[in-house]
Amino acid sequence: MKVDLAIAGQGAVTPAGVGVDSLFTGTPKPQMTAPLGEPRCEFPVLRVDLKDPAFARWQNEPRLRRVSPMTFFMVEAAAQALAGLSAGERAQTGLIVALSAGCLLYSRRFYEAVIRNGRRAASPALFPETVFNSPGSHVASVLGLNGAVYALCGDESAWMGALKTAAVWLRRGRVKQVIVMGVEEFDPLVLDAYRSARWLRRRGFLTSEGAATLLVRAARPDDPLTITEVHEGPPYRSPAEAHFSAAELFAGVDERVPCHRSARHTWAEVLEREATAGRPEFSAAPPPYLGLAFTASAAWETIRAARTLAVPQGVVPIWGLNHRFGRIGLRRS
């Protein structure tokens, strides 16, 4: 799908720190955490430090008294991207959130109460925070975003769906600009799920969390940085289909157009090497590894690519780990 989205703002929250610079400043230190199902086994994970001073202003917000950690990641990253926009401009801004697991903290607490003590013990105060749309509604309210709010669920490829949705909104005039966000939070429950997935066991990886945000609007000819294409390859259901999807990823792309490469610690790393063999890179310096955070990882890589693109065109591969691969085209004037 051809799109013309100007990147007007960026924001990020990572295990390495708060702000876009944290995407380039170094590898964060892992913490040892045990899965819920095996409390005696510990595995390294990467966590966002909620004690960072940047979160203090949001923790005092009445609307955010009882929210999942991902909401704090989201509101901080979105505030960075919105810096400089007036209240009137924010009122014409929409919000699209791409995520995979959702509000894990409250979902686990709610269903744990049901399992342990029966349905009557489930707290109605917890249930609203288990809904995928709830973090987005909190962020829109706190930051004064009066446009539409939408959530997409999936692997990394949901990030591409969010960008395509933003392009449709802007083309139809529903909003003046859109906050597009990838976000994930961590809970020991996910370690149980990840350890049962064969495609994740084959290569080492670190479970991670965080958020990244792009503020996009309809592109103009004089915009310095533009998203020109969001191409979703065919979905896959097996390793064989994944190889075919990876091969299709660069079909029709000029071999001289550089490709942004990220540090991978999964079986998709093999597919990435095969699909991008011989293609020039944005930069010879590999970015620091921030772990596996699904849609947040896809958003981090897009911002990294946008910051390091030094030639007129570039491609950002999106390696969805259980559904679809795709690519994002960038143009710098």
- The count of C-alpha atoms lying within 13 angstroms of the C-alpha of 104, restricted to the half-sphere facing its C-beta, is 18
- Residues 83 and 197 grouped into a single domain: yes
Query: Which of 33-42, 93-102, 155-164 bottoms out in mean pLDDT, i.e. has the lowest?
Result: 33-42
Query: Is 202's pLDDT higher than 60?
Result: no
For residues 281 and 137, membership in a common domain is answered with no
Domain boundary (216, 243, 270) is at 216
Better-scored residue on pLDDT, 165 or 104: 165
Same domain as 175, residue 266? no
Q: Which domain holds residue 77?
A: 7-15+25-216
* Predicted local confidence at residue 27, as pLDDT: 83
Percent of the chain at pLDDT above 70? 93
Domain of 128, CATH number, reads 3.40.47.10
pTM of structure = 0.93
Q: Are residues 244 and 156 in the same domain?
A: no
For residue 299, pLDDT beyond 90: yes
For residues 101-106, give the mean pLDDT: 79
Q: Look at residues 216, 241, 261 and tell me which one is the last residue of a structural domain.
A: 216
pLDDT band at 229 (very low <50, low <70, confident <90, very high): very high
Q: What is the pLDDT of residue 204?
A: 62
Number of domains in the chain: 2
311 against 251, higher pLDDT: 311
* pLDDT score at 284: 67
Domain-located, residue 1: no
Instruction: Kindly report, residue by residue over 23-81, the tens digit of the pLDDT.
Output: 998 789 999 988 877 788 888 899 999 999 999 999 999 999 888 899 999 999 999 99
100 lies in the same domain as 179? yes
Query: 114 and 184 share a domain?
Result: yes
Residue 254 — pLDDT band, cuts 50, 70, 90? very high
Better pLDDT: 251 or 304: 304
217's CB contacts (< 8 A; 6+ apart) are 5, 6, 8, 170, 176, 177, 178
Report residue 1's pLDDT band, with 50, 70 and 90 as the boundaries.
low
Whether 132 is covered by a domain: the verdict is: yes
pLDDT at 19: 97
Q: What is the mean pLDDT of the chain?
A: 88
Are residues 129 and 259 both part of a single domain?
no
Q: Please report which confidence band the pLDDT of residue 265 belongs to, taking 50, 70 and 90 as the band edges.
A: low
Residue 20 falls inside a structural domain: no
Band the pLDDT of 198: cuts 50, 70, 90.
low
Please count the other Cβ atoms lying within 10 Å of the Cβ belonging to residue 309: 20
Q: Do 160 and 231 reside in the same domain of the chain? A: no
pLDDT of 197: 64
Same domain for 238 and 90: no
Domain-terminating residue out of 159, 182, 216: 216
pLDDT at 303: 97
Q: What angle do CA 259, 288, 296 make, to 5 degrees?
A: 75
The angle subtended at Cα 15 by Cα 72 and Cα 9, nearest 5°, is 60
Residues 212 and 229 both lie in one domain: no
Residues with Cβ within 8 Å of 159's Cβ and at least 6 positions away in sequence, in order, are 98, 180, 182, 295, 298, 299, 302, 318
Q: Is residue 324 part of a domain?
A: yes
> Does the pLDDT of residue 203 top 60, yes or no?
no
> Are 205 and 107 in a shared domain?
yes
User: For residue 200, what pLDDT is reported?
Assistant: 52
**Do 66 and 212 belong together in one domain?**
yes
Whether 78 is covered by a domain: the verdict is yes
Q: Look at residue 175 in the predicted model and tell me its pLDDT.
A: 96
Average pLDDT over residues 150-165: 95
Share of the chain above pLDDT 90, in %: 58
With respect to residue 294, please indicate whether it lies within any of the assigned structural domains.
Answer: yes
Q: Residues 6 or more apart from 252 whose CB is under 8 A from it? A: none
For 171-215, the DSSP string reads HTTS-SEEEEEEEE---HHHHHHHHT-HHHHSS---B--EEEEEE
Q: How are beta strands 177-184 and 149-153 bridged, if at all?
A: unpaired
Is 60 a member of any domain?
A: yes
Q: Is 125 inside a domain boundary? A: yes
Evaluate if residue 282 carries a pLDDT over 70. Answer: yes
